[in-house]
């Protein structure tokens, strides 16, 4: 029995279709990622799972309970962290924790063991008001509050958005620790690099699931020959690569440009070097490169919508 099961879920806000016919399952103990940009429907899915919203169509169960009929049972076993940091800014760290513990009919001491690792980082600030914490610390406190009643399932809606890289890394480390304790985690993020840290991910765009798979399988599913191309100046490089006759797509990837070819070409490297040198580029290097999840996602986006959706 899966920990979370969504079957043909749809939800619209007025004329805007936020979620279209989404089906997903999350296994117990899994660290599952919902990956997609703003407007992909991540928050709506979380709210449906958290029993805060009713879907227009479809069914969903969380921890074997139906989200519509048995919402009370779900609320006892789910820890939910909404997209905005849902803390009382005018309460101290300690007061926030104690409050949420009491609301979930428990005490900080009772479940101290579970939150200890995170809580210890907060101890130096325990008398500081939550509003005065940095983004990273707020995020830790919010996680602590969501964990305080020992939930079976954690629903984390964009916990790392707007948080710096250091805090993000620490946060993902905490998630892997929690996963080892058997807690099922569903987490959403707009950062593609974080997808690699999940066991399985669903790639979402405009309310639809583009694909669900493990990060490795997603990378392998990339259908085109892919090359990382470097040259001294990025912008002209991108423009010239897009004009390359055999190019399928070309995107900047950090300090390189990822070029996919429409046809496999055994001598692609030599051809590309010659092409670019002829265009006047310096320090050109071309190497085949394995696709990242971001490459796969962009490819799926392109095949799904050739033009932006309004």
Residue 34 interacts with another protein (CB under 8 A)? no
Closest Cα to residue 2, out of 64, 66, 81, 84? 64
254-259 contact pairs (CB < 8 A, 24+): 255/230, 256/228, 256/229, 256/230, 256/289, 257/228, 257/229, 257/230, 258/226, 258/227, 258/228, 258/229, 258/289, 258/295, 259/226, 259/227, 259/228, 259/229
Token pair 């490297």 is found at 269
Q: Which two tokens stand for residue 21?
A: 């016919």
Nearest to another protein of 189, 275 (CB atom): 189
Nearest to another protein of 89, 270 (CB atom): 89
Nearest to another protein of 2, 135 (CB atom): 135
**Which residue stretch of 36-44, 108-116, 179-187, 267-275 sits at the interface with another protein (rule: CB under 8 A)?**
36-44
Q: Which two tokens stand for residue 176?
A: 């892997």
Residue 125: CB minimum distance to another protein, A: 6
Nearest to another protein of 208, 265 (CB atom): 208
Using CB under 8 A as the binding rule, the residues of this chain from 72 to 111 that contact another protein are 72, 75-76, 78, 80-91, 95, 98-100, 102-105
Q: Which two tokens stand for residue 160?
A: 């790392």
**Which residue stretch of 26-34, 221-229, 231-239, 267-275 sits at the interface with another protein (rule: CB under 8 A)?**
231-239
Residue 146: CB minimum distance to another protein, A: 8
Nearest to another protein of 238, 265 (CB atom): 238
SS3 label, residue 308 = coil
Residue 301 interacts with another protein (CB under 8 A)? yes
Residue 4 interacts with another protein (CB under 8 A)? no
Q: CB count, 10 Å around CB of 273?
A: 16
């Amino acid at each position: 029995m899966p920990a979370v099961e969504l079957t043909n879920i749809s939800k619209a806000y007025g004329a805007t279709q936020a979620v279209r016919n989404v089906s997903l399952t999350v296994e117990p103990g899994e660290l599952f990622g919902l990956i997609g940009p703003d407007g992909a429907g991540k928050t709506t899915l979380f709210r449906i799972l958290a029993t805060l919203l009713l879907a227009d169509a479809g069914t969903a169960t969380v921890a074997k309970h139906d989200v519509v009929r048995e919402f009370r049972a779900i609320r006892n076993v789910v820890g939910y962290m909404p997209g905005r940091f849902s803390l009382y800014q005018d309460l101290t760290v300690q007061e926030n924790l104690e409050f949420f513990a009491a609301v979930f009919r428990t005490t900080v001491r009772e479940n101290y063991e579970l939150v200890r690792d995170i809580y210890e980082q907060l101890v130096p600030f325990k008398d500081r008001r939550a509003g005065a914490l940095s983004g990273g610390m707020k995020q830790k406190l919010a996680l602590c509050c969501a964990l305080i009643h020992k939930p079976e399932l954690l629903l984390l809606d964009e916990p790392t958005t707007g948080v710096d890289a250091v805090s993000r890394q620490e946060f993902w480390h905490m998630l892997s620790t929690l996963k080892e304790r058997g807690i099922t985690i569903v987490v959403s993020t707009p950062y593609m690099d974080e997808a690699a840290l999940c066991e399985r991910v669903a790639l979402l765009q405009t309310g639809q699931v583009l694909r669900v798979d493990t990060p490795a399988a997603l990378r392998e599913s990339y259908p085109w020959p892919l090359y990382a191309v470097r040259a001294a100046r990025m912008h002209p490089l991108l423009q010239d690569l897009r004009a390359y006759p055999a190019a399928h797509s070309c995107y900047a990837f950090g300090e390189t440009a990822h070029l996919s070819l429409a046809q496999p070409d055994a001598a692609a490297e030599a051809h590309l070097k010659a092409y670019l040198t002829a265009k006047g580029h310096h320090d050109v290097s071309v190497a085949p490169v394995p696709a990242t999840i971001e490459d796969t996602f962009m490819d799926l986006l392109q095949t799904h919508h050739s033009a932006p959706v309004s």
